[in-house]
Amino acid sequence: MNEANFKKKLMLKIQGGQAPNGTVKVSGAKNAATKLMAAAMLTSDIVTLYNFPTELIDVRYKADFMSKIGVNLSFDDISSVVTINSNNICIPNLDNYEYPIRTTYLLVAAQLNKNGLARIPYPGGCRIGDRKYDLHVMIWEKMGCKVSEKNDYIEINGQLKPAEICFPMATIGGTENALICAAGIDGTTFIRNAYVSPEVYCLIEFLRSIGADISTAGNSFISVTGCKKLRGSSFKIIPDRIEALTWIIFGVLSQGKIIVENVPFDIMEAPLLHLKEAGIDIFQNSTDVYVNNNCLKNKKIQPFEIACGTYPGVISDMQPFYTILGLKAHGISRIYDYRYPDRTSYLSELEKFCPDALKWESGKITINGPSKFIPANAVSTDLRGSMSLVMAALLADGNSTIIDVELALRGYNRLLEKLQGLELRCKIDYC
């Protein structure tokens, strides 16, 4: 995927009502891969990452910025491998700091270690509304650096030093930033009220592989003894649990025949249990799932109630897929999400496919099923919400269009290729 393509606004045109048939392989986890790209910058030696989702839009944006500060990245799309050489990191002086990625803060530590100065785009690409990066400023200041907010970018000066970081709330992004900052310096840093999700643990394992000494106690305390001279590594990314759940639920709803390969069962126990409680009996071996119309007990999806929270439960990123599952359940289903209570912007677009079936308020979604999907034109609002719109369009008999589908491509590697591999008729055009 070249720059001209990944920076375009896209639409997905779908001929819905088709039964999928075929095999889809779950890619490496987006929420691990993009973090390991930043962590790989800590070492001047070569890092090779396997099972890497090379064609994600978020990956390409981050690679674009990294290349502009002297990092050399080589992508092998066929083998799903990226090789990273960070031996020549320089101080960025860019004409444009607009990058639509949230985790720019992870690019600070390597710049500071090499040059004593870091410049990064504002997380998300712009300064709108309340600051969403206060915890990251706290990390850098606690570790001895000065933070300046410029018009187009954040500038951090100084040398990172070991510290004790205590978060006021459990935070994945803050935990990842503190880990990366601590791993590349001499001394021991303590991180309290951390959040160790599977993707964060993947980051910890990678940092250990390049020479950091990291220990954890439960899911909330981490001790990091770092090292200025870290080594290279060859490391495999874990499969994407959210993508795996997406394909499993789509297979159930579509009544097709899908084999889902590379499923990380060990980190999906609770989400899969909720499917079982909804009357879904999937066929599985150690790595794969087979979904067909025999997976439904009594031939119906049973209504359910789910509360989204932290791992090992159902996380908020999975919420849209249980919402669309509830639209086919026989009865009223409810989803509670008090961690991210206003994650509802996609619902007004999803409702176009199933009028009058959804009601929502802060922290609660009520779903009246079963609903018949009708074709519609919808606009993506966020990554996971966009994918729920794609699923709804595929389930509706007729032609639909999902505008700004590049939001889904931020988190679903080779999405069009995978859909077409399931014998589904769809194509991507520029908006």
Same domain, 417 and 309: yes
CA 68 – CA 88 distance, rounded (Å): 11
CA 134 – CA 83 distance, rounded (Å): 32
Within a 10 A sphere around the Cβ of 431, how many other Cβ atoms? Answer: 11
The pLDDT-based confidence of 297 (bands split at 50, 70, 90) is: confident
- Asked if 378 contacts 26 with a C-beta cutoff of 8 angstroms, the reply is no
Same domain, 215 and 261: no
Average pLDDT, the chain: 95
Same domain, 265 and 205: no
**Strand pairing report for 221-226 and 213-217:** antiparallel
pLDDT of residue 132: 76
Average pLDDT over residues 17-43: 97
The pLDDT-based confidence of 126 (bands split at 50, 70, 90) is: very low
Same domain, 230 and 246: no
Last residue of a domain, one of 236, 268, 283: 236
Same domain, 85 and 176: yes
Last residue of a domain, one of 190, 212, 236: 236
Same domain, 374 and 280: yes
pTM for the model: 0.96
Q: Give the angle subtended at the CA of 174 by the CAs of 201 and 315, to the nearest 5°.
A: 60
Average pLDDT over residues 134-156: 96
Task: Report whether pLDDT(178) > 60.
Answer: yes
Same domain, 211 and 284: no
CA 6 – CA 20 distance, rounded (Å): 27
Helices (H), 233-372: 241-254, 269-277, 319-326, 347-350
Same domain, 181 and 43: yes
Q: Number of folded domains in the chain? A: 2
Residue ranges making up the domain that contains 172 = 30-236
pLDDT of residue 339: 87
Last residue of a domain, one of 183, 216, 236: 236
The percentage of the chain sitting over the pLDDT mark of 90, rounded to a whole number, equals: 90
Same domain, 226 and 249: no
Task: Report whether pLDDT(1) > 80.
Answer: no
pLDDT of residue 101: 86
Q: Two tokens at 5? A: 């393509």
Same domain, 232 and 344: no
Q: What is the CA radius of gyration of the chain?
A: 22
Burial of 313 (0-12, 13-18, 19+ CB in 10 A): middle
- Exactly one of 90, 126, 166, 431 is catalytic; name it: 126
pLDDT of residue 298: 87
Task: Report whether pLDDT(159) > 50.
Answer: yes
- Asked if 92 contacts 39 with a C-beta cutoff of 8 angstroms, the reply is no
Alpha-carbon 425 to chain mean position: 26
Same domain, 398 and 296: yes
Same domain, 206 and 256: no
Collapsed DSSP state (helix, strand, coil) of residue 392: helix
145 is catalytic: no
